[in-house]
């Protein structure tokens, strides 16, 4: 057995153990990201142990290591999206990356085009796709995260690890497959990445796994005196509330925090800090949806708008789609918009 390979794998596994011990610390928040990161570490362990294992162990280590891209995708989704929930299609998509290579080993005609496309090319493209979706999650939700330190840390953390995973899979499966340095250097590189990860977890754990965002149900109040904001930001709230309460800027579909900051003529970072610290929101979409949902509820209660379709109200209040509207509205009122309207119709009929 190659001693250099053994040292590299042992070093990386030692970092996995340290990371696992850090994750065992009790915490009231971030349960799903921690659990998914722990599962990701288990899959990484399978990747590290595979070259040292015998044939019998590789039977289960092989499928375990193929879970790395899919678990990384779920981890990034849960880390950046405070409302993320694992769905059946998520598991089915990840399951294909495991099942198809196993089926390829059992398929008798391994050299025909069907085996090449279905059992080799398709799983590889799917793995790359999962990593790309993970990085897209990072970019998408990084823009709406209002906690400056957390958004920088999470973007660097997930972006760095994602690029490493993408590069390793690409190198292993496309070129340099026979190079001696790659077969050993990749395991040392994983150990270095985990070493950096452990440094982040030790020093900035709360910023990485952070607390969940304020619920959509906590729609901002018109009473700006209750915001308890810092004195130096006292002039920003009236101007912000003017745009939201009087001009209804939240009705603009696709409104970004950059656009809002430009209308207020303040730096974007200052507006992020203000909404986070003075108003208690950690996510810009949650902040906007609070106004949108409250506006929609008023329209759904309006007897003069009973014949207006729910989709029209959704678009009028700034939601891009009916599904996003239903999700935000149900989170606030525990009813779908249609059920909410019907309940209010019955209530008005009995009055």
Stretch(es) of the chain classified as CATH 1.20.1070: 3-209
Interval 275-284: pLDDT, tens: 988 888 888 9
Q: Give helix 148-173 / helix 122-142 axis angle, nearest 10°.
A: 170
**In which element (H, E) is residue 178 found?**
none
| Cα–Cα distances in angstroms (integers) from residue 310 to residues 106, 286, 318, 335, 342, in the given order | 52, 20, 13, 13, 12
By CB neighbour count within 10 A (0-12 exposed, 13-18 middle, 19+ buried), where does 38 fall? Answer: middle
**In which element (H, E) is residue 191 found?**
helix 180-209
Ranges of residues in the chain whose predicted pLDDT is under 50? 212-232
**Inter-residue contact 123 to 96 (CB < 8 Å):** yes
- Closest among 317, 260, 247 to 289, alpha carbons compared: 317
Stretch(es) of the chain classified as CATH 1.10.10.60: 224-350
Tokens of 247: 């001009």
pLDDT given at position 194: 85
Q: What is the DSSP string of 46-71?
A: HHHHGGGS-HHHHHHHHHHHTTHHHH
Q: How far apart are CA 299 and CA 319, in angstroms?
A: 14
Q: What are phi and psi of 252, to 5 degrees?
A: -70, 115
Gyration radius of the chain over CA positions: 25
Q: What is the DSSP string of 67-136?
A: THHHHHHHHHHHHH-TT----HHHHHHHHHHHHHHHHHHH-S-TTSHHHIIIIIIHHHHHHHHHHHHHHH
Tokens of 29: 């928040």
Q: Give helix 3-23 / helix 180-209 axis angle, nearest 10°.
A: 10
**Inter-residue contact 211 to 286 (CB < 8 Å):** no
CATH topology of domain 3-209: Rhopdopsin 7-helix transmembrane proteins (1.20.1070)
CATH topology of domain 224-350: Arc Repressor Mutant, subunit A (1.10.10)
Q: Tokens 């207006």 belong to which residue?
A: 308
Phi-psi region of 228 (alpha: psi -120 to 50; beta: other; left: phi over 0): left
- Closest among 32, 91, 34 to 67, alpha carbons compared: 91
**Inter-residue contact 184 to 4 (CB < 8 Å):** yes
């Amino acid at each position: 057995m190659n001693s250099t390979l053994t040292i590299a794998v042992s070093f990386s596994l030692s970092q996995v153990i340290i990371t696992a011990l850090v994750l065992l610390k009790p915490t009231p928040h971030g349960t799903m990201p921690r659990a998914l990161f722990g599962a990701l570490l288990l899959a990484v362990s399978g990747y590290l142990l595979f070259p040292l294992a015998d044939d019998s162990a590789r039977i289960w280590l092989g499928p375990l290591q193929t879970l790395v891209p899919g678990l990384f995708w779920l981890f990034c989704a849960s880390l950046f999206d405070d409302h993320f929930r694992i769905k059946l299609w998520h598991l089915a998509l990840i399951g294909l990356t495991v099942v198809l290579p196993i089926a390829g080993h059992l398929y008798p005609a391994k050299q025909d085009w069907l085996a090449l496309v279905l059992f080799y090319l398709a799983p590889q493209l799917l793995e790359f796709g999962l990593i790309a979706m993970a990085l897209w999650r990072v970019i998408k939700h990084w823009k709406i995260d209002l906690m400056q330190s957390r958004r920088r840390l999470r973007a660097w953390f997930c972006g760095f690890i994602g690029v490493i995973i993408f590069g390793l899979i690409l190198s292993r499966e496309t070129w340099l497959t026979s190079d001696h340095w790659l077969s050993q250097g990749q395991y040392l590189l994983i150990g270095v990445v985990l070493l950096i990860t452990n440094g982040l977890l030790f020093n900035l754990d709360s910023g990485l796994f952070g607390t969940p965002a304020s619920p959509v149900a906590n729609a901002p109040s018109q009473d700006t005196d209750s915001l308890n904001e810092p004195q130096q930001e006292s002039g920003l709230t009236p101007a912000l509330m003017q745009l939201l309460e009087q001009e209804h800027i939240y009705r603009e579909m696709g409104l970004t925090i950059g656009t809002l900051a430009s209308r207020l003529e303040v730096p974007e970072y200052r507006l992020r800090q203000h909404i986070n610290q003075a108003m208690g929101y950690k996510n810009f979409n949650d902040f906007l949806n609070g106004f949108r949902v409250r506006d929609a509820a008023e329209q759904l209660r309006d007897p003069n708008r009973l014949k207006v379709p729910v989709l029209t109200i959704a678009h009028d209040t700034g939601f891009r789609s009916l599904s996003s509207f239903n999700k935000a509205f149900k989170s606030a009122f525990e009813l779908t918009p249609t059920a909410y309207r019907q309940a209010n119709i019955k209530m008005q009929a009995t009055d």
